[in-house]
Amino acid sequence: MKQTIKRLTLLAAIFAPFFMTGAALIILPEPWQTLRNTSGEDWIWFALLGAMMLGIYYFLAVYLEDEEEIAEDFQSLDTDHDGFIGREDAKKIPDLIRVFDRFDTDHDGLVSNVEFEAYEKSVFVR
């Protein structure tokens, strides 16, 4: 279900500028005359609205979904559900165990949720 929502949101983000152009053609009185005779100020608002929609859809589709995926990954690695990933749990991800000490910022031998998010958003994740 989440993948379907993500795909639909990305599809909406791709077509948002086209939807806004279509809306401009329908809403503006004599849209082609407006574009030719004036400086195109009416069109600028539709272009800005389309760009804003694109940014919002991109944020919703990419950023928020990634946060949920990171939380799910953390929960799947935290087998004892204590809120931390130990070295044994981290062995499931070879890249994480390789850089475990770098992201264990408090050097307690455990990776917290915040430290795991830093790992997931780093360049070490492939």
Q: What is the DSSP string of the chain?
A: -HHHHHHHHHHHHHHHHHHHHHHHHHHSSSHHHHHHHS-SHHHHHHHHHHHHHHHHHHIIIIIIHHHHHHHHHHHHH-TT-SSEE-HHHHTTSHHHHHTHHHH-TT-SS-EEHHHHHHHHTSTT--
Tokens found for residue 65: 């979904």
pTM: 0.50
Q: Are residues 47 and 86 in the same domain?
A: no
Domain span at residue 27 reads 1-63
Q: Are residues 6 and 33 in the same domain?
A: yes
Average pLDDT, the chain: 77
- Percentage, residues of the chain above pLDDT 90: 13
The pLDDT value given to residue 110: 93
Q: Are residues 4 and 46 in the same domain?
A: yes
Domain count, the chain: 2
Q: Are residues 45 and 94 in the same domain?
A: no
Contacts of 112 (CB under 8 A, 6+ apart): 83, 84, 106
Q: Are residues 1 and 53 in the same domain?
A: yes
In this structure, is residue 14 part of a structural domain? Answer: yes
Tens digits of per-residue pLDDT, 25-58? 777 667 666 656 556 566 677 677 777 877 777 7
